[in-house]
Amino acid sequence: MIGRLAAARTTVDLGGPVMEQLAAAHLVRALDEPLPARLATLRTNRAALLELLRGHLPDWQTPVPAGGLSVWCRLPAPSSTALTVLAPEFGIRLAAGPRFGIGGAFERFLRVPFTLPPEQLETSVLALRAAQDKLNAAPQLRRTLTTAPAVAIA
């Protein structure tokens, strides 16, 4: 029951507590100060993640995102859920693509954030590679979609 309630909350929670909202509003007023440095760091991290993904997981399609803090990787098979189930064995946790859609949408996609420094991104990509290798060795772990979902939300 707790697991179901926690999962349901993420779909209906529209904001944080008032105190955190007030703190965020205060910080937003001073955004010009740290923003350029943060953007430069994120661009470096994004470039490092894309290079790592393309080097270690060449079968994954990894377009350069136009914005945001994540790369949406298109997997060669609908295996996002299986990968996120295996990934904690290798020290990482990610949300499967279907978490961002309905009816099994986005099973071919995995959202990989680039907010960590390049060294940690390398460790994470190597862990993803290990999870992908384990999945490749046991294809029965993959979820099979007989038809593509008709409706999806992002």
User: pLDDT for 35-46, tens place per residue?
Assistant: 888 899 999 999
**pLDDT(10) > 70:** no
Q: Model pTM?
A: 0.72
Convert the pLDDT of each residue in 70-104 to its tens digit: 999 999 999 999 999 999 999 999 999 999 988 87
Report yes or no on 1 lying in a domain.
Answer: no
Sequence-distant (6+) residues with CB within 8 A of 107 are 78, 79, 80, 81, 96, 97, 98, 143, 145
Report yes or no on 14 lying in a domain.
Answer: no
Cβ(68)–Cβ(55) below 8 Å: no
DSSP 87: G
For residue 33, what pLDDT is reported? Answer: 72
Report yes or no on 91 lying in a domain.
Answer: yes
CATH of the domain at 54: 3.90.1150.10
**pLDDT(20) > 80:** yes
Give the residue numbers spanning the domain of 69: 34-141
Report yes or no on 8 lying in a domain.
Answer: no
How far is Cα 57 from Cα 77, in angstroms, rounded to an integer?
Answer: 13
Report yes or no on 73 lying in a domain.
Answer: yes
Average of per-residue pLDDT across 52-61: 98
Report yes or no on 19 lying in a domain.
Answer: no
Number of domains in the chain: 1
**pLDDT(31) > 90:** no
Report yes or no on 7 lying in a domain.
Answer: no
- Per-residue confidence band for 146, with pLDDT thresholds at 50, 70 and 90: very low
Round to the nearest angstrom and report the end-to-end CA distance of the chain. Answer: 26
Report yes or no on 5 lying in a domain.
Answer: no
